[in-house]
Structure 1
Amino acid sequence: MTTSTSEDTGGTASTARGRASALRALHVPGRPLVVPNVWDAASARAVEAAGFPVIATGSAAIASVLGYEDGEETPVGEMLAAIARIGRSAGLPVTADMERGYGLEPAELVERLAATGASGCNLEDSDPRTGAMADAGEQAAYLGAVRAAATAAGVDLVINARVDTYIHGTGSAEERLAESVRRGRRYLEAGADCIYPIFAAEAGAVRALVEGIGGPVNILFRPGTPSLAELADLGVARVSFGHGLHEAVRAYAARMLAAIRDGESPYPPGLSAP
């Protein structure tokens, strides 16, 4: 039986801090970190095999795999266990989609995330169940408390603060843009590392967000979003795919099953069966 020593613990902590530092350093405006979000160990290994430097989980995709709806319907223990399995499956920094924190107090959130081996997390500013936007000041205070808890615990955590104004906000496009910038700046001041105005897609808005927020900006890639090269030109620092890849895989599997049902081969011409 192997016992843990202070040297072992120090080495583990040093490795964790190194992964978080590496993750943070990859957020470079104009040279974005591209993170195809994963849902299980197999998809995480595929992302690593494809040469990506970071594993990012997607809450909606993991919820679907586990048999739940998105919106913090997954019991927090099951979500964290899934994140831990993903982390063990690949030798890369992991950033975890933690929605609004699953009701955990900042210190417990930090402790339980650290136990999974995750180096970063997404935290959003709307209620996953109702869609109601959080007060910007309250969300900034929450992010600041997560940062303080991480510092107190000796944990380096890369915080990607999601801004949901483009989903659940109100007002004109100009008003939503202004509110996204306002929130993003407050969240950076509170201790966030990157700002994620999810569903912002129009090129002019993306450029205005990058310039107005004044820190690393994460954009969700989906149909209609500028290309990866264009997002880089706009100064974006991170590009996520959310649950889009998982939805595409499910749709492809459905087409294969329909082919089998209809007595046809599910495999494309020229492709050998595994």
Structure 2
Amino acid sequence: MTARHDQQFHALHSAGLLLLANCWDAGTARLAMHAGSKALATSSAAVAWAHGYADGGKLPPGLLLSTIRAIVRVADLPLTADIENGYSDDPAAVAALGRDVVRAGAVGINIEDGNDAPELLCEKIAGIRRAATEEGVNLYINARTDSFLRPLVAPEQRVAEVLRRAALYREAGASGLFAPGVREEADIEAIAKGCGMPLNILVRPGFPSTERLQALGVRRLSAGSDIAEMADSYIVHAMREFLRCGAIAPHGAPALTYPQLNELMASGRG
């Protein structure tokens, strides 16, 4: 960590809209810096796919840590790492991973609740906060709630459930709230106003402009795995075309979706 990257990363959420074009290795981190990114963020899916694993807790944590170290080696920007659910249901083990992530050089994390009870994520957040503080780092803990991605509650109750969980996660030590899947402007605004933390959402086709999102109260917009999906889609298309006719295909590849890429990475030996 250089020039107190943790402080810089927190400050990037205090005004304006932070856009994070998620990367998955040192090379794509360099590309993100070249493109003008103010900070770096990994995508759990993209990192897993880059190592030949499916997303969803399949990546060995050691590969996550080596990826963080590789990015930090080439980067002079704050880095936040997606650690999924912490790769364990044991809060102590997750806190230990959080410590390792900080020691590897990350100054932020995403950690999600998924189908688990929010109280479990609270324990994980509290443990990670203690571990990071002991390392002298003001870690930006972005607590992700999947209330808009999974059938956890009825659709009309999603905003209230997000806000309920946000209050729990904030009390446990979270720095920000990540609510992927939210789309409607009224829902975005209600969550941004009520969650008590900087709101991060996941970009989706047809979203309002960045100016409008900022006006609604959003402070962070993530690309997630979308860029990796586009890149891998072109790679498969180009390889097929080369093997078919010995020529390099132009851009404009048919898209591989998240489920298709995840299934591809899950096949074969693990």
Q: With the length of structure 1 as denominator, give the TM-score of the two structures.
A: 0.84
2:196 to 214, 219, 225: 214
Q: CA 1:263 to 1:78, structure 2 compared with 1: closer, same or farther past 3 Å?
A: closer
Is 2:5 the counterpart of 1:19? yes
Q: Which runs of 5 or more residues in structure 2 are unaligned? A: 252-270
Deviation for aligned residue 1:36: 0.4
Is the contact between residue 99 and residue 128 of structure 2 (CA under 8 Å) also seen in structure 1? no
Deviation for aligned residue 1:106: 4.3
SS of the equivalent of 2:197 reads coil
1:152 to 131, 134, 154: 134
Partner residue in 1 for 2:223: 241
In the comparison of the two structures, how many residue pairs are matched? 248
Partner residue in 2 for 1:123: 111
Is the contact between residue 201 and residue 224 of structure 1 (CA under 8 Å) also seen in structure 2? no
| Equivalences for residues 91-106 of structure 1 within 5 A | 91-103=76-88, 105-106=93-94
Is 2:27 the counterpart of 1:42? yes
Deviation for aligned residue 1:265: 4.6
Partner residue in 2 for 1:72: 57
Q: Which runs of 5 or more residues in structure 1 are unaligned? A: 1-11, 127-132, 269-274
Is 2:169 the counterpart of 1:187? yes
Deviation for aligned residue 1:102: 1.6
Give deviations 1:116-173, integer Å, cap 9, x for gaps: 11111000012xxxxxx22222322321221122223322211000001111233332
Distance in 2, matches of 1:249 and 1:221, equals 17
Is the contact between residue 107 and residue 140 of structure 2 (CA under 8 Å) also seen in structure 1? yes
Percent identity among equivalent residues?
Answer: 38
Give deviations 1:84-132, integer Å, cap 9, x for gaps: 1112121111100000112262441232112211111000012xxxxxx
| Equivalences for residues 195-210 of structure 1 within 5 A | 195-210=177-192
Distance in 1, matches of 2:169 and 2:40, equals 23
Distance in 2, matches of 1:169 and 1:136, equals 15
Q: With the length of structure 2 as denominator, give the TM-score of the two structures.
A: 0.85
